Amino acid sequence: MSEHFEISRRRRASSPSSAAPLDNDDLLGQILIRLPPGPSTLPRASLVCKRWRRLISDPDFLRSFRTHHRKPPLLGFFYHDRAFDLRRNIDFTPVLDPPDRIPAVRFFEQLVKGSEVIGCRHGRVLVISRKRRRFQVWDPVTAGDLRCVAFPPPFRGKGLAEYVNSMFLWTNDEVFIVDLELAKFKKLPQRISYCSCHPFTSFCAAGKEYDWYIELPPLIPF
């Protein structure tokens, strides 16, 4: 039932006409979540007409789409030179064939030079710009929903690890969790003395509690 998608149940037509299934948001949603999970799929389908666009941008639909395609496709990988260079862009190598091949050049305009990718989750990328002392949560595919957050005050960029769908950052004495999907930072109340941190979980839950996230103020509204 998890993939049973509905935004609003329209009353079904009393006499079935040929277009009836596509006029029903519930049925159209069931069709569209079964499209392949490649990154070109939804941008294309959303151009078919206004109704499709509205349905595809609905967060409930997007959640159903993700749930249906449990395993997201690998789009490519980011990399930088070993010698970290403040003047250089991040490079990207796509691994999919057209039309799902996202060209690297598309990313260059979106990031501050000298940024460093520190983790990818849920189609979001956590980027750090030490020069500007800020994190950027970045959505490369839509190029939208960019969000910049100043370094939490004590953060000097000590280390990071992966934690479920988040990144785990720590400094000399504090630990932060960054939820990339929601672009939110949480500071844990526990303090640490300097060491490396390894998040330890009892199991990998599909759902999470989000309400304990403290939102740090965005530095730059995009």
Partner 1 sequence: MAAPESGDGNNGAARMVTLISSDNTRFEVEAAAASLSQTLQLTILDGGGGGGDGIPLPNVDSATLSKVLEYCIKHAPAAANGGAPNATAVDRAELERFDNEFVNIDQSVLYSLIMAAHNLEIEGLQSLVAKKVADMIKGKSPMEIRRTLGFPDPTPEEQAEMNAHMLEYGWAYE
Is 75 one of the binding residues for partner 1 (CB under 8 A)?
no
The tally of CA atoms less than 13 A away on the side-chain side of residue 134 is 18
Please provide the size of the chain in residues: 222
Task: Please name every residue paired with 153 in a beta bridge, in sequence order, or none if there are none.
Answer: none
Counting residues that bind partner 1 (by CB under 8 A) gives 37
Per-residue exposure over 118-133, b if at least 16 CB sit within 10 Å of its own CB, e if not = bbbbebbbbbbbeebe
C-beta closer to partner 1: residue 101 or 187: 101
Q: What type of residue sits at position 168?
A: F
Question: SS3 of 27, please?
Answer: helix
Cite the beta strand spans of 95-173 per DSSP E: 116-121, 124-129, 134-138, 147-150, 159-163, 166-170
Contact string 142-171 vs partner 1 (x = CB under 8 A): -x----------------------------
C-beta closer to partner 1: residue 106 or 133: 106
Tokens coding 45: 């389908």
Tokens coding 112: 């501050």
Binding segment toward partner 1, per CB under 8 A, in 92-100, 146-154, 159-167, 195-203: 92-100
Binding segment toward partner 1, per CB under 8 A, in 16-24, 58-66, 77-85, 121-129: 16-24
With DSSP H G I counted as helix, E B as strand and the rest as coil, what are the percentages for the chain, rounded to 5?
15, 25, 60
C-beta closer to partner 1: residue 75 or 149: 75
Is 35 one of the binding residues for partner 1 (CB under 8 A)?
yes
CB of 98 to partner 1, least distance (A): 5
Task: Please name every residue paired with 169 in a beta bridge, in sequence order, or none if there are none.
Answer: 160, 176
C-beta closer to partner 1: residue 30 or 165: 30
Binding segment toward partner 1, per CB under 8 A, in 99-107, 161-169, 181-189, 210-218: 99-107
Among 30, 58, 160, 197, binds partner 1 (CB under 8 A): 30
Is 71 one of the binding residues for partner 1 (CB under 8 A)?
no
Residues that bind partner 1 (CB under 8 A): 12-14, 16, 18-22, 24, 26-27, 30-32, 34-36, 39-41, 43-50, 98-103, 106, 143
